[in-house]
Structure formats: structure tokens, C-alpha cells
Amino acid sequence: MPKDKASGPNENPNSVRVGKRLVIIREELGRLQGEHNWSQAQVAQRTGLTQNIIHRMENGKGGQIENWLKVMALYEKEGYNLNWILTENNGLVSKLQLQDATQDAGASIRAELLKRLDQYAEAHNREMAELRGILMHGKLNW
């Protein structure tokens, strides 16, 4: 298998690829729940590992299989699909777990979906009130 151009002489291209995906997930969770909740230090604390181990994994420097499993178990618990993390060509693989995503996905993902639904409902209600006013008063404010 050819070496990944981004990897150094001692880096496995699979570790580099998976490490980049772990960063994507951690940063995505950070955007949803707050950066302080998903720093490398917080992931280390949640998994019982050190920040240095998380840093090495995310940068494709390898590590013990037990450590990889701990990090992936954490992200799976948050609703992410391990196949998306591990599959070489994951373009056709869902990043989120597919089994009833609205119930089984992590709390952060559900919270974001509910927030978006509330925003859409508010916008819909404003639009409906404006249309109702137009019909009742015959005034166009366009």
C-alpha cells in the first residue's frame, strides 16, 4: 500500500487517515456542545487516557489498540458510525449511526436537531402571522 503523502517516515497511512477523522468528530462535537467540552484534554479525561496519547492518535502517530478502542467507543456513544471512521473510502458511509438516528444518536446531535426544528417553527409562525395580518387587514407590507 502506498504511503500517504501527509504521513512522515514512521507514520502508518491508516493511522493518519483515522486520526484526521477523529479530529473531525471531536471538532464537530465541540461546535455542538462547546469547544471546552471536546478539547483533546477533555477527550483524554473521558477515555482515561492522556492528552499526549490523544494528540499522537489524531496526528497519525499510532498507539496501542486499546487506546484506539477507547476513543472510538466514546465517539460511537455520541452517535458516530465507526465504519465512517475506519473505512478507507467512506464517501458512501454515513458519519452518524443509521439505526433510528433521532433516538439512538448522541444527546448533542439530538439537541442540535431540536434547536433547528425550533428555529424553523419560529420562522414559520412569524410568516403565518404576517400572512394572517395581510388577509385580515388587507395591507401588503412588501
pTM passes above 0.75: no
Q: What per-residue confidence (pLDDT) applies to 40?
A: 96
- Tell which residue, 21, 4, 3, 12, has the closest CA to residue 58: 21
Q: Which residues of the chain have pLDDT under 50?
A: 1-7, 101-102
SS3 80: strand
DSSP, collapsed to helix, strand or coil, labels residue 96 as strand
Q: What is the pLDDT of residues 61-92, one digit of tens each?
A: 989 999 999 999 999 999 999 999 999 998 88
Task: Kindly report the length of the chain.
Answer: 142
96 φ, ψ to 5°?
-100, 155
- How far, in Å, CA of 110 to CA of 79, rounded? 10
